[in-house]
Amino acid sequence: MLTKRKRYLLKIILPATIIFCCSAVAINTLDRANGAASNPDHSSVASTPTDNLSKPIESVDVRFKDSGHNELPDFQKHVAPLLGRLGCNGRSCHGSFQGQGGLQLSLFGYDFQADHQALLEDGTDRVNLKNPLESLILTKPTDEDEHEGGLRYDKDSWQYNLLQSWIAGGGTNADSIHKLDRLVIEPSELIFSSPSTKFELKAIAHWNDGTVEDVTPLCRFHSNNDSIAKITETGAVSTSSISGDTHVVVSYDNAVVPVPAIHPFAGKPLDTSPAFRGVSKLDMLTQKKWEKLNLQPSQLSDDTMFLRRVSIDITGTLPTSDEIREFVAATDPQKRKNKIDELLQSPAYASWWTTFFCDMTENNTNQLRNIAFDNNLPSQQWYDWIHQRVEDNTPYDEMIEGIVLGISRNSGESYIDFCNRMKDEAANESFSENETMPYYWMRREFRDRETIAISFAHAFLGLRIQCAQCHKHPFDRWSQKDFKDFSKFFSGINIRPYSGGTTPEDKKDYIAILENLDIDPDRKKNPNLQRQLRDAYRKGETTPFGFLTIDSPKLTREELRELQKQLQANKKSKKKKKNKKPSITEATLLGSDTIDLTDHEDVRTPVMEWMKQRDNPFFAKALVNRVWARYFGVGIVDPVDDLNLANPPSNAALLDHLTQEFIAHDFDLKWLHREIANSQTYQLSWVPNSTNEGDRRNFSRAIPRRLPAEVIFDSITFASSNAETNRTFRNTVQNRAISIPGTVTNVKRAKNATDASFALKVFGRSERASSCDCDRSEETSLIQTVYMQNDRDIHLMLTQKDSWLNRMAQQHTAKIQAVNAQKSIDSLNDRIEKMELKKANLKKSDNKKQLQNLTKQIKSLEKTKRGWAAKLATAQESTGELNVQQVVEEAYLRTLSRFPTEEELARCEQHIEEEEDLVKGVTGVLWALVNTKEFIVNH
């Protein structure tokens, strides 16, 4: 509980500083509903006006308005989309896994062959070819009482006429699937000039056979934010009084097309902030979007705000007090650019961004426990390998290539030589010198190719394809076939645990290693085998290690069962075929080519070659978007790991520009950091104006965001450390939270102030347990407030030995000792002076005995005086004048990275002076500062 004194500190001393509490959701509960994802190049998707000179075929609602015509509707082009538009193949109806009323359709209607067979299944009247009007797909949807889904359309409506014409024409389906070349939406951008403005969308389908048709009545429409753009099922778009931007999304066949919808802020056009010069292309692209929205950007941040923000974003470290004073006093117009370059060269940059990549690639200690007898070794080597490349500024594509093509054993390397090398690399910490790093593939969760495909697409492509594992992705192009064909690239990946390999040679080497250690390899006879090997490893002996193998792609059990059925069917039909050993020979890249796997010794190679291609629509874009989100708190596509067609970027031109320039600069990570951090868009203040207070997606101001867990813990340590420690904090990253290699698991209550486990769990450090960037949490909670205000860790860190406060206490104690010593010396001088007068009188009276005694007393006092003089000299050497104003300024600089206002300074000085103990007063001020929202937030 908060003591009365702590409440006083929080509410009275610092009223100008907002206290951090669980209700402070404004700092991180950002509007993510309008997040966007890049629209990768795709032949079937477009939202630009048609360039085909032929007039589109009239829409089906016009052509089938009346009954009694001879046109035969196409199942793929007309019937299946209509069923989707009516909701028949939705999750709550026949598209569910169990279907409805005995009829199961593919979810969202993308398996045309299966849906056609289901509708024409023998023994049902779903489609009655002999008597079309008795077909259930006509009678049920027009009967509100009989149909569980209610009335879907009226009898004799165009929908009824279309389905009736299809049935009457034989209920046919094309022999092959039609390919949609593109879907053009008109208009391609919606800008509402007033709340009464309305738009009617038109969707024109261009098929690869040259057919052009108005398919608007067959499309499905939805809005990413109904409060800004509301769309009806017919494609009519309206807005409200709320200003902002979003997208309306049009779906037809395999096309998903987002259309920007912009409702500018009211009032006359605003002038761009005079301080915003927008000299870079990045700034020009953000400014162009602001002009469309009539948004005025905030002012540029001041030097202290900029320095704190950029130091945290690049290095995960607060700036020192001396650094802030020097930066504010500097007059060099290039000082911000120079500071960014300085930060990018610091060890803390390499450590903090290595943690970023370890999050992205899921460096999870618990997932790597079958590799070595030191459970932490693989995580540490994983971290060290990435750290070396971040420090060397290795091009991003090369670094990822080393992960994607990671191998354990070198060509021709025996198992025993491999184990010897692993032992040496662990002892010499030289693993990072290896060309590749295999641990990404060696996680225990990677037991099947589907799991690997989902994780891989998420980490390196920014795609969430797990929906396509079971059905067509509802918001993207990916079908179940796309998912299965892509996952085949990962079907030959296997982990061999440290119990030895599968070849006879490996097994012999394994036995030889154990015999050399005098360990019985028979687990039945030797139940202590694991413990004995672990003890041998700790002694530095050569022990077995797990390793990765890349084998020929294999069929899954489901595929083998399907193959067995086909073989049995062939036997029954007396077809004689030479049965080959079942294997996978082809796999397909997402949205790209089909690859002959027999041409590649390592089937991962074509995947990496595809990702490195300059026109790859995902690889570079996913990384650029993630890095951008680290600097702005929200991605250009948000969520950052969901680049789907229905989740387009808030500024597509900006994302495309940064992506292409990143590729043009050979995937240079430091170029990307400089380009973002040097932009004036990044350097804007968080303080809003009348137009951009509600902006969460167009970067017209900085969005305050809670610090990451590691930075919070390190910042508390920084705030409490002495000046000498802080000066090296950015360069000495050992034992810092930002450089923890693996995951902190099985967290127990911290036993001392240096144990970060409890704090990191409280503040949501990524546990790297799932293929989602949401695994890291930056939400606020009550337990975080309790931790900051009352936890023993905070008190221990503030008052630890050799801390800033401890040094101050020693200094203050020395000052008191000096005062006391001087008082003692003055008192002794008075006594000696009086005794000298008495001595002079005794000399006149010739009282030798008293004179002798008095002389001894004076000598004793002189000796005591010399002792106090020595203490005074020592105290004076270790003390200096404590200036309360300077102490308060230092407290603000080491926590909030700014100078206190006059009001804050006066209140803090008053509190310190009212305390009997000066150090106790300063401790209260520092405690109150680390409990402010301003401390816990990057702004």
The pLDDT of residue 125 is: 79
The pLDDT of residue 725 is: 85
Angle, vertex CA 930, rays to CA 784 and CA 341, nearest 5:
105
Least confident interval from 228-242, 692-706, 733-747? 733-747
Question: Does 406 share its domain with 318?
Answer: no
The pLDDT of residue 67 is: 80
Which of 48-57, 113-122, 129-138, 403-412 holds the top average pLDDT? 403-412
Least confident interval from 329-338, 400-409, 809-818? 809-818
User: Between 842 and 665, whose confidence is greater?
Assistant: 665
In the chain, the percentage of residues whose pLDDT exceeds 70 is: 83
pLDDT band at 57; cut points 50, 70, 90: very high
> Is pLDDT of 573 > 70?
no
User: Between 266 and 568, whose confidence is greater?
Assistant: 266
pLDDT, tens digit, for every residue of 369-381?
Answer: 888 888 899 999 9
pLDDT band at 20; cut points 50, 70, 90: very low
The pLDDT of residue 469 is: 74
285 belongs to a structural domain: no
pLDDT, tens digit, for every residue of 262-314?
Answer: 999 876 655 555 567 777 999 999 999 999 999 999 999 999 999 999 999 99
* Residue 564, Cβ density class (10 Å: 0-12 exposed, 13-18 middle, ≥19 buried): exposed
For the segment 824-829, the average pLDDT, to the nearest whole number, is: 77
For the segment 45-57, the average pLDDT, to the nearest whole number, is: 58
The pLDDT of residue 6 is: 60
> Is pLDDT of 751 > 60?
no
To 10 degrees, what angle do helices 709-720 and 918-930 make?
Answer: 170
User: Between 597 and 150, whose confidence is greater?
Assistant: 597
When divided into structural domains, the chain yields a total of: 4
Judge if the upstream peptide bond of residue 195 is cis by omega within 30 degrees of 0.
no
Residue entry with tokens 């509301």: 230
Rounded-to-integer distance, Cα 620 and Cα 613, Å: 10
pLDDT, tens digit, for every residue of 314-344?
Answer: 999 999 999 999 999 999 999 999 999 999 9
Rounded-to-integer distance, Cα 862 and Cα 302, Å: 61
Q: Is 766 left (phi over 0), alpha (psi -120 to 50) or beta?
A: beta
User: Closest Cα partner for 652 from 262, 373, 221?
Assistant: 262
Rounded-to-integer distance, Cα 622 and Cα 792, Å: 41
Question: Does 390 share its domain with 496?
Answer: yes
The pLDDT of residue 934 is: 95
Rounded-to-integer distance, Cα 453 and Cα 658, Å: 27
Domain stop point among 566, 582, 608: 608
The pLDDT of residue 651 is: 96
Hey, what amino acid is at 200? E
Question: Does 601 share its domain with 499?
Answer: yes
Average per-residue pLDDT in the chain? Answer: 83
User: Closest Cα partner for 759 from 828, 821, 708, 705?
Assistant: 708
Least confident interval from 6-15, 289-298, 492-501, 512-521? 6-15
Question: Does 469 share its domain with 384?
Answer: yes
Least confident interval from 239-253, 327-341, 707-721, 834-848? 834-848
For the segment 123-128, the average pLDDT, to the nearest whole number, is: 79
Q: What CATH number does residue 16 fall under?
A: 2.60.40
Please, are residues 912 and 888 in contact by the beta-carbon 8 Å criterion? yes
Question: Does 494 share its domain with 566?
Answer: yes
Question: Does 157 share its domain with 182?
Answer: no
> Is pLDDT of 575 > 60?
no
> Is pLDDT of 834 > 90?
no
The boundaries of the domain holding residue 136 are 75-168
Question: Does 230 share its domain with 243?
Answer: yes
Domain stop point among 291, 311, 345: 345
In the chain, the percentage of residues whose pLDDT exceeds 90 is: 45
The pLDDT of residue 241 is: 85
Least confident interval from 487-491, 679-683, 850-854? 850-854
pLDDT band at 500; cut points 50, 70, 90: low
User: Closest Cα partner for 364 from 350, 348, 349, 382?
Assistant: 382
722 belongs to a structural domain: no
- DSSP-derived letter for residue 272 is P
Rounded-to-integer distance, Cα 87 and Cα 103, Å: 14
Least confident interval from 434-438, 916-920, 929-933? 916-920
Tokens of 610: 């595809």
Question: Does 249 share its domain with 315?
Answer: no
Domain stop point among 240, 263, 286: 263
Please, are residues 386 and 358 in contact by the beta-carbon 8 Å criterion? yes
Question: Does 340 share its domain with 382?
Answer: no
The pLDDT of residue 42 is: 38
Question: Does 333 share its domain with 468?
Answer: no
Q: Which helix (H) or strand (E) holds 186?
A: strand 180-186
Rounded-to-integer distance, Cα 323 and Cα 345, Å: 16
Question: Does 234 share its domain with 364?
Answer: no
The pLDDT of residue 843 is: 73
Strand ordering across the sheet containing 190-191: 190-191, 255-263, 244-252, 220-223
> Is pLDDT of 44 > 50?
no
pLDDT band at 28; cut points 50, 70, 90: very low
280 belongs to a structural domain: no
Which of 176-185, 342-351, 533-542, 868-877 holds the top average pLDDT? 342-351
pLDDT, tens digit, for every residue of 902-911?
Answer: 999 999 989 8
784 belongs to a structural domain: no
What are the CA-CA distances from residue 444 to residues 450, 472, 641, 902 (Å)? 14, 28, 23, 58
CA dihedral (569, 574, 575, 578) positive or negative: positive
- What is the phi/psi pair of residue 369, to 5°? -90, 0
Hey, what amino acid is at 878? S
Question: Does 212 share its domain with 339?
Answer: no
